[in-house]
Amino acid sequence: MSVREPLLELGKRALNTTSQTAIVGAKLCSIESLDYEIVENDLFKEDWRTRKRVQIFQYVCLKWSLALLVGLLTGLVGFFNNFAVENIAGFKLLLTNDLMLKERYHAAFVAYAGCNLLLATAAAALCAYIAPAAAGSGIPEVKAYLNGVDSHSILAPSTLLVKIFGSIFGVSAGFVLGKEGPMVHTGACIASMLGQGGSRKYHLTWRCLRYFKNDRDRRDLITCGAAAGVAAAFRAPVGGVLFTLEEATSWWRNALLWRTFFTNAVVAVVLRSLIVYCRGGKCGLFGKGGLIMFDLSSTVSTYSTSDLVAVIILGVIGGILGALYNHLVGKILRKYSIINEKGAAFKIMHTMIISLLTSCCSYGIPWLARCTPCPPGLEDRCPTAGRSGNFKNFQCPPGHYNDLASLFLNTNEDAIRNLFTANTGNEFDISTLVLFFIAVYCLGLVTYGIAVPSGLFIPVILAGASFGRLVGTILSPICSLDPALFALFGAASLLGGTMRMTVSVCIILLELTNDLLMLPLVMLVLLISKSVADNFNIGVYDLIIQMKGLPFLVAHAEPYMRHLVAGDVVSGPLITFTGVEKVGNIMQILKTTRHHGFPVINEPPFCEAPELCGLVLRSHLIVLLKGKRFTRDKVLTGVGEVFKKFGSFDFAKAGPGKGMKLEELDISVDEMEMYVDLHPITNKSPYTVVETMSLAKAALLFRELGLRHLCVVPKTPGRPPVIGVLTRHDFMQEHILRLFPHFNRQKKRNEEQT
């Protein structure tokens, strides 16, 4: 199997159903499509005609109020995450350091590895038993959700809790992983919980909350949550906005830009206030630095032609290493999926093995380094007295430090801070940087995919920074830039090679380092690394989306789609309802199919010839049948009759798992023979395409409009008014290539030629 093939066996996937399965985190889940189309039925139109200005004002205020709450809660969770990691990891490192100073080296290793193993086991147990969907980064799942793919597990409350605490335990356990990806997922989960539109169970049925019971508004709020997660993780509010714009979302507009910017501003204010509060030592071992995590503003920012050449070389090598990283991640995830299929116990054992491997590397490799005398005239204490710092004593005598221990026996963020420290050109030996780069690169690969919440940003930044500092140290005789700046460029090059993001990564790095003068070189290295890596494979998040089997609609159509038309891929048999339908027929179709949308056809005597009236949703049919507004004869009842029993919000989409079920209906035998008018709940202006439209154009239309159903109508008269309904699955590559295998053979030949 190739790396791009999904982890699920193709034989286990349905040939063409509206419900599919995909891997969410480390859990196999059923998935559905979201529907961002406005259902313009008679109830919707009547509601908007009767809606007053004060209600519209309440709706607008609700959007901004929820954006404010998302920012506040995500900022608090981000602070709590940092606070917990700094204190838990700090206690572990202080204990290890105290034992090392007493020359109790074996006891120090047992304490270090034991703490790591305990934390790793706790994180794995949470993911394996409570919320398997919380494993991994979470960014691919959030990106798929914002593309229109829904699963209850993606943004469930249990996923949120495990994501928070599992990330804390995982990062504290010393794994080569980050909390940035999980923070994006956490922000999206918080936004999803706030955007459920109220709850009758918990008596949260304030009138304004009902306006949020639709996929479109929830999508916008979750976009704000994802942006807030980046802002909380990197303390980069502008970078968070650009991250969602460039990488996460599939739909964007100016109004959403304003709200995400506002949400991230709230996150920045919350973080700033709490960091200032903690500066007085009130937060234990919580680190310093304010909103600037890795300050490089004190470095000399003038550069020469030789520096430009070195940066270009960094970009090329970073692109190659990033493409290799993605390729190996795909290979490793495929192997890990075999372990995950064996059950929770195997997931935990696997995590424990990786934890022991990481502990052995972090504690054992520094013994290979020689002790280095402390440089004279330092402002910082050497060797470092505490859990973090550039000059770890490890096994060295007084007045000396171990540079490998300064990188390994630290939190990942402190190790990056050490590599980004300016005016310390001779602090790290070349052999140290080589060993650290190889170890971090390999550990980052084998760690991603275990059953803990794990981000890719920090491992990639750490590996890139060590690689960049290595190049800067080697080229220091001919280059004028500080090696710390080369560490920044190395991090940018590897990020560009793996993530394939440019604008957002550039701004995030600038907000992290406070070095605006390096903007041109950071832009250059990102553009080069991305361009080089694109020649080998796709970005790591897109690769993971493919492997998980998530039906993601890309922004461009595949070339073979231009040789097909919409009518070529519609699946049958087509199931339709008449405008006034027998109750028994509706019940029978709902029980025997899993479709979520049905065309409604008007027939004589209600019209001269059969014509497409619109599209009715499965959930709306269930609500209508629950109200039992039936008639003995096949007659039109009109919207007024329906309004006596229902309001427009009775048909609004409920939260995950809260909708009315078909099994809840109690329809008698006599009622089965009665009729119900479907016109009031039918969307009378569905999107339609003619059967001869290019499939490529239909796919782009489907994605850009955020549709769930797209009706295909005939080109010539005298035929049924609708010949099929296109859904997300009809545009998926596996479905099309199964229908037309010769395109698959041609595609493979083209790939072999390139």
Six-digit token pair at 196? 């459920």
Residue 30 CA to residue 50 CA, distance in Å, equals 39
Residue 97 CA to residue 112 CA, distance in Å, equals 9
Does 52-552 match 555-570+691-754 in CATH topology? no
Give the angle subtended at the CA of 118 by the CAs of 113 and 122, to the nearest 5°: 145
Residue 520 CA to residue 459 CA, distance in Å, equals 24
The predicted pLDDT at position 16 comes to: 43
Q: Which of 135, 170, 128, 171 is nearest to 154 (CA)?
A: 135
The predicted pLDDT at position 1 comes to: 39
Residue 428 CA to residue 405 CA, distance in Å, equals 11
Predicted TM-score (pTM) of this structure: 0.91
Distance of CA 322 to the CA centre of its chain: 19
Provide the residue ranges of all domains of the chain, joining segments of one domain with +. Answer: 52-552, 555-570+691-754
DSSP assigned state of 661: P
Beta strands in 478-631 (DSSP E): 577-578, 580-582, 597-602, 611-617
* Contact (Cβ atoms closer than 8 angstroms) between residue 194 and residue 69: yes
22 by Cβ neighbours in 10 Å (0-12 / 13-18 / 19+) ranks as buried
Distance of CA 539 to the CA centre of its chain: 13
Interstrand relation of 27-33 and 20-24 (parallel, antiparallel or unpaired): antiparallel
Q: Provide the CATH number for the domain formed by 555-570+691-754 in this structure.
A: 3.90.1280
Phi, psi dihedral angles at 3 (to 5 degrees): -65, -30
Beta strands in 400-442 (DSSP E): 400-401
Those residues whose C-beta lies under 8 Å from the C-beta of residue 228, and which sit 6 or more positions away, are: 70, 71, 74, 75, 187, 190, 191, 240, 260, 263, 264, 266, 267
Residue 186 CA to residue 82 CA, distance in Å, equals 14
Side-chain-facing half-sphere of 94: CA atoms under 13 Å: 9
The predicted pLDDT at position 287 comes to: 58
Quick one: fold of 52-552?
Clc chloride channel (1.10.3080)
Residue 584 CA to residue 576 CA, distance in Å, equals 14
Six-digit token pair at 488? 């920044």
The predicted pLDDT at position 9 comes to: 44
9 by Cβ neighbours in 10 Å (0-12 / 13-18 / 19+) ranks as exposed
**Which positions of the chain have pLDDT values less than 50?**
1-5, 9-19, 289, 754
* Contact (Cβ atoms closer than 8 angstroms) between residue 625 and residue 667: yes
CA dihedral for 693, 695, 700, 702, sign (positive or negative): positive
The predicted pLDDT at position 383 comes to: 73
Interstrand relation of 577-578 and 597-602 (parallel, antiparallel or unpaired): parallel
Phi, psi dihedral angles at 582 (to 5 degrees): -70, 140
* Contact (Cβ atoms closer than 8 angstroms) between residue 738 and residue 748: no
